[in-house]
Chain A
């Protein structure tokens, strides 16, 4: 087995049981990281620093997995009637692993204090925040790491979708992009309503 290929397209190379167990374990770890680092996963591909109760973190994570899986399933069902929801749930859980890995980078003390300083400096005024060289370097590093992990998320998602729905044409990937955008907008809308309710 080609290890690199297997890492970027796990649905193609691992058994259903392995994928399900890995997905569930990763989701549990992702929830733990969210609670531990106070990073909210408040969108299907969003991570923000926010101190929230455990049940809200759980709600966001479950919502993200289900919304992503359902949107992939809808697009997949149009492409290939044999597409199964369980495969999309597995894709959705596995694809989030890079996002979980990004949580410690976003929610660590240094980053939190830097973002608090930036918020204080910009609050109420229109002046540009005063940043030291080290702050700039930190922000640059965080941006690069975030882009890398986000790219990892999309690579796993697209490869998983390709295998689970047997997608081959560019139109299939266009429909994937459309449903993902719709799911992101829907997640933002739903979570805003839910947080008010809770």
Chain B
């Protein structure tokens, strides 16, 4: 199941209020901000993971994906812009 990051009622970013240990059933309540990575769309998260697994090489990733280098570089540039905006 995918972790929701945006409120379905008002479109604001959701926060984390409860964390639970599946092993000993301990529950922690608090008010934690949603990490930037989890605020990306599933496609963007998948892209970041693939980029990481390709050792951060766009060339390597382009060869694996069978698409051109500039296409992936543009996607990365757009993602960097989005992450910068989310961090502000």
Where the two chains meet, the residues of A that have a C-beta atom closer than 8 Å to any C-beta of B are 11-16, 19, 80, 82, 84, 87, 163-164, 166
B62 at the interface (CB under 8 A from A): yes
Those 10 A-B pairs whose CB atoms lie nearest each other, nearest first: A166-B74, A164-B70, A15-B66, A87-B70, A12-B71, A16-B68, A163-B70, A11-B68, A16-B69, A163-B71
B9 at the interface (CB under 8 A from A): no
B67 at the interface (CB under 8 A from A): yes
B34-55 residues with Cβ-Cβ distance < 8 A to A are none
B63 at the interface (CB under 8 A from A): yes
Q: How far is the CA of A87 from the CA of B67 in the complex (A)?
A: 13
Instruction: Knowing A82-B77, A166-B77 are in contact, say whether A14-B68 is a contact too (CB < 8 A).
Output: yes
Instruction: Knowing A15-B62, A15-B63 are in contact, say whether A87-B69 is a contact too (CB < 8 A).
Output: yes
7 contacts between A and B (CB under 8 A): A13-B67, A14-B66, A15-B68, A16-B62, A82-B73, A84-B70, A87-B68
B71: A residues at CB distance < 8 A: 11-13, 163
B67-86 residues with Cβ-Cβ distance < 8 A to A are 67-71, 73-74, 77
Q: How far is the CA of A160 from the CA of B69 in the complex (A)?
A: 12
Residue of B nearest to A20 (CB): B68
Q: How far is the CA of A95 from the CA of B68 in the complex (A)?
A: 16
CB of B76, distance to nearest CB on chain A (Å): 10
A16: B residues at CB distance < 8 A: 62, 68-69
B67: A residues at CB distance < 8 A: 12-15
Beyond contacts A14-B66, A84-B69: 16 other A-B pairs, Cβ-Cβ < 8 A, are A12-B68, A13-B67, A14-B67, A14-B68, A15-B66, A80-B77, A82-B73, A82-B77, A84-B70, A87-B68, A87-B70, A163-B70, A163-B71, A163-B74, A166-B70, A166-B74
Q: How far is the CA of A87 from the CA of B73 in the complex (A)?
A: 12
CB of B85, distance to nearest CB on chain A (Å): 16
CB of B71, distance to nearest CB on chain A (Å): 5
**In the complex the two chains form, is B66's CB within 8 Å of A11's CB?**
no
A19: B residues at CB distance < 8 A: 68
Residue of B nearest to A162 (CB): B74
